[in-house]
A and B are shown apart, each in its own frame.
Chain A
Amino acid sequence: PQSQAAEQQTQQQDEASSKDSAVESKSDEGSATPAAKASTDKIVILLRPTGNAPILTKKKWVVGRSQRVGWVSEFVKKALKCQPDESLFLYVNQAFLPAPDRDFGGLYDCFGADGKLTLHYCKTQAWG
């Protein structure tokens, strides 16, 4: 039930943030300044298991643009109840592992769309 609540909350945030960005992009109309993308300060990340990774109950996470990959990776490790010595790999584009100090803003601008960025996770290296 707790995770369901979290999911709901995420969806609410999701709606709220998309509402916000719609308002912002409207007010930006006609001016040459910030791109609509840059004005959304929250990003929804969708986590999909790959290989033999266990399934997460909470698949949708909302993160700030300045949030680091390493921080989310630790969070997911806790959610999956990983042992301290176990690794977790978060892939972008089903192709590469971003360094833990990368922020989601830059990753989203290059590899995300519609406020969402999909990440594939696994406990052993899946691609590469």
Chain B
Amino acid sequence: TTPDSIQRQVWDGKLPVCFVLPEDPDVPPLYSLVPRVGYFPALLDRLRAHLSRHAGIDEDSPGAQQLWLRSAGRPLRWHLPVGLLYDLERPKPPPLPWEVEIRTRDFPTDELVSFGPNNSLESYFLYCLKEADALKHRARVINEMGEREHRQLWQGLLNDQFDQFSVVNRKLMEGEAKYLPFRIYQQGADGGLSVLQCLAKPHREDSTPLTLSDLLRICLPNFTDPVTLATHGVSLPMETPLAWAYDKLAYPDNFLHLVLQPGRCNSAGDGESSAMQLDSSSES
């Protein structure tokens, strides 16, 4: 096992997705294996081409330009990575292939980021990297990179080229981090999503590693119910050091995205949505 193998497995995680157009049942569904670490808006051109071919919706028409996605009656917050969106459907993840509805009307402006020429997914992704590096290295590493390297990160992700991506990303992940970039998400029953983010150092004051249960105490000091934190379809043991989880399991945007759900983690096998097995002892 090479040191990179967990990052590689995380990168290779895919979800089978079935895109349907409910407003026109005659349109055949579009099946796609979507990278968990990728973003839905990266598929917009393919979806538009599909609608143009099978539903007679012209690619430049307002419907095609304003299309958005929905799952379980809720708009998919597509500025978040695909795998995180699927994990947010826990504890009852939709059966696979994941049925995602294409909508061509009533874009939910209040809830969704509208990506366009003025506000591209690429620049949004870069802002995530900048925020993460601001937390880790006071933005020193990302600012020392040239535009060519920024593009290489994005192109590597977009074209599923792990080596191209990681050769640059390694620079961002190296070195002592002041704070570790993470977010904890909780899906409310009403469809609202609460996001927790605060400053967390890799170590406790006695310089032992800070664990996920320490992190919960920092973020939710008044929270006593048993909870589980999951990422990439895997529930993490609460004694996992945050720095280890960050190093191995951060998404390409350089954030560790954790989904909070009630109930204790039954650690062994609830990788229902992921073929990946995580084993911290396999690290060389």
Binding site for B on A (CB under 8 A): 33-35, 38, 70, 87, 92-93, 95-103, 106-107, 109-111, 125, 128
Query: Knowing that A97-B124, A97-B127, A110-B179 are A-B contacts, what are 11 other residue pairs whose CB atoms are under 8 Å apart, sorted by A's residue number?
Result: A87-B118, A92-B131, A99-B113, A101-B113, A101-B193, A101-B195, A106-B198, A110-B135, A128-B123, A128-B126, A128-B127
- Contact string, B100-114, partner A, CB cutoff 8 A, digits 1/0? 000000000011010
When distances are taken between beta carbons in the complex, the residues of chain B under 8 Å from A70 are 110
Cβ A106 vs Cβ B196 within 8 A: yes
Cβ A96 vs Cβ B134 within 8 A: yes
- Cβ contacts A to B, 9 pairs, < 8 Å: A34-B222, A70-B110, A92-B131, A93-B134, A97-B123, A97-B124, A100-B113, A101-B111, A106-B197
- Contact string, B4-29, partner A, CB cutoff 8 A, digits 1/0? 00000000000000000000000000
Cβ B123 vs Cβ A125 within 8 A: yes
A26 CA / B57 CA spacing, docked (Å): 63
Partner of B134, one of A35, A111, A125, A128: A111
Cβ B222 vs Cβ A33 within 8 A: yes
Cβ B197 vs Cβ A101 within 8 A: no
A97 CA / B123 CA spacing, docked (Å): 9
- Contact string, B113-147, partner A, CB cutoff 8 A, digits 1/0? 10000110001101110110011000100000000
Task: Tell me how far the C-beta of A73 lies from the nearest C-beta in chain B, rounded to whole angstroms.
Answer: 11
Cβ B131 vs Cβ A96 within 8 A: yes
Interface residues on B, range: 20 to 34
Cβ A35 vs Cβ B221 within 8 A: yes
Decide if B199 is an interface residue (CB 8 Å cutoff): yes
